[in-house]
Amino acid sequence: MSKLAFIFPGQGAQKAGMGKDFYENSEAARSFFDQAQKILDFDLKEMCFGEHEELNLTEYTQPCMVSVCLAIVQELKKRGINPDITAGLSLGEYAAVAAAGGMNELDAIKLVRRRGILMQSTVPTGEGAMAAVLGLDAKKIEEILESFENVWIANYNCPGQIVITGLTNEVQQASLALKEAGAKRVVELKVSGPFHSLLLKPAGEALLKEMESMSFSPLQVPYVANATAEIVTDSKKISTFFAKGIYSSVRWQQSIETMLENGVDTFVEIGPGKTLAGFMRKIAPKATVYNVSSFEDAIALEKCLSKA
């Protein structure tokens, strides 16, 4: 039986103007943006819809991205488009849990606002770095990184693309070693910290403490956890996975493979850009993938799914 997944991108997909046409054309999305605006301590709509360098700062990127993704979800659900399962890459996991019914959507936005601040402040800017390793087998990368105390794999994105993370000088040394081992390219990423490294474990522990006072709802549909690529049906596990996700590898390729093994054949990438669709071409080229980043995309998706 055919199954549909909602998948959500992470940090890096943000862009100026994201969500604006949904705000202008969708009553459901507009209402959601207005609600989200009230709970944040900065001008969400101005940050998303205008041109602001601050949009690329982790503490702002995170609530902006999750707000846009969940505003789009409001319009899709209004059109009767609902997922059988959800997943999100890194930050996208919060939108995935909210879309799966595991937590109040506004609580998700407040939580990622706090998450962004914790992640930004745990490691001083400049002390951490990340780099994308292209064209080298994951096992080979794992073997080489065993020689480095403060470098880890941040993301298993897709075959041929792995991201490493850690202390800046060691990431640079590891990058040279990986090139010598046969990597086609190693590209330093423009990020403000060593995300998904053990250096951020204090941020994960602090976030777990923050979540003690939060309530999670029974999941209406399952979601796939980044840290383990397992299908989660018990909402009591959500806070642990959120905390662990800050300092653990994002097992995105494995998450997609888990969904494929469980009958998912149609994926809807929700949010700006087409990053996840690009990964999908390498993980499962035969899978059906739609992208919804504009209001017109939502209309087109409804038409496509009605014909399927």
Which residues does the annotation mark as catalytic?
A: 90, 196
DSSP states along 56-70? GSHHHHHHHHHHHHH
Which residue type is seen at 136? L
How far apart are alpha carbons 221 and 241 in whole angstroms?
Answer: 17
Please name the residue that has the structure tokens 């504009």. Answer: 294
CA geometry: angle 156, 158, 161, nearest 5 deg: 75
Alpha helices in the chain (DSSP H): 20-25, 27-39, 44-49, 58-78, 92-99, 105-122, 138-145, 168-180, 201-210, 238-247, 252-261, 275-283, 295-307
Q: Exposure of 1 by Cβ count < 10 A (0-12 exposed, 13-18 middle, 19+ buried)?
A: exposed
